Homo-oligomer: A and B are copies of this chain.
Amino acid sequence: MKFEAFKDSVRLSMEDICEEFLARNRDRIKVKKDRVAVKNLAKIFEATLRVSNEKGFASMSLRDLSREAGLSMGALYSYISSKDELLDMVQQQGRSLVFKILGEHIEEIPDPREKLKAGIQTHLYLSEVVQPWFYFSYMETKNLPRGVHRKAIEAELFTEKIFAGIIEEGIGKGLFRKVDPQMTSAALKAMLQDWYLKRWKHERRRLSVEQYAEFVIELMSAYLDAKEEKGG
C-alpha cells in the first residue's frame, strides 16, 4: 500500500481525533455543546503536543498552554481537571489510535510474510500521520505516575507481541528460519520508533516514509531468510 492511499483511508485529522475523544470521554468535559467542545479540544491537544514536544511537558506551564491554545486559564479548566489529567488524556488517545489502526490493517492477513510487511508499513505510515502523538507518548511516558505508567509499558509490549507473534507463526510454517521472535521483534520495534523519534534526521536526508518502510522490510527479510550456515 502506498502512503497517500493509507493517509486517505484513515481519517485522522485533529478534529476527527478530538471527536472520537469527546465521544469516549463525554462526562469529564464540562462544556456541553459538542461543536464548541471539539473545536477547543483540538486547540488544546494541538498546543499541548506542539509546546510539549518542543520543551517537554513538565516545562510547559498552563499559561504557555493557555496562550498557545488561545483560551483563558478558566476556559482551559473547562476541558481538563488538572495538568496531570491532560497528560493522561493525550497518552490514552495516542494509545487507542495505535490499537485501532494497527489491528484493522493486519488482522485478516493469513500469510506471515505479507502480514509482517503490512504491520511494518502500517506502523510507519501511522506514525507519520500522527507523529506528534507518537513522539509525545514515547518521551513523556517515564514521567507518568505509577498506575498510568504501567498502562504505557503494557502498550509498548503489546505492539512488540504482535510482531513477535507474526514471526513465530512464520517460523512455524517454515517460511522464516529459526530466530528468536522476541528479540527480533524488539529490534524491529526499535527501527520503527526511530522513524518518529528522529524525524529531523530523516527529513534532512529527504527520506520518504515509503523508502524507509522498504528498507526496514528488506533488512528484516534478509535476517529472516538467511541460511543457517555460518561461514566466514
Contacts and interface: CB of A to CB of B under 8 A. Distances in A.
Contact of A142 (B139, B143, B153): B139
- Copies of this protein in the assembly total 2
A59 interface: yes
B142 A180 contact: no
Interface stretch (A14-22, A69-77, A95-103, A184-192): A184-192
Given A187-B215, A187-B216, A218-B223, 9 more contacts: A139-B139, A139-B142, A157-B201, A180-B215, A182-B205, A183-B207, A183-B212, A189-B194, A225-B226
Interface of A: 53-56, 58-59, 139, 142-143, 153, 156-157, 180, 182-184, 186-187, 189-191, 193-194, 198, 200-201, 205, 207, 212, 215-216, 218-219, 222-223, 225-226
Q: Pick the 8 closest A-B CB pairs, nearest first.
A: A190-B194, A58-B58, A222-B226, A222-B223, A190-B190, A58-B59, A219-B223, A56-B143
25 contacts: A53-B142, A55-B142, A56-B58, A139-B142, A156-B198, A157-B201, A180-B215, A182-B205, A183-B207, A183-B215, A186-B198, A186-B201, A187-B215, A187-B216, A187-B219, A189-B194, A190-B191, A190-B193, A190-B194, A218-B223, A219-B219, A222-B222, A222-B223, A222-B226, A226-B226
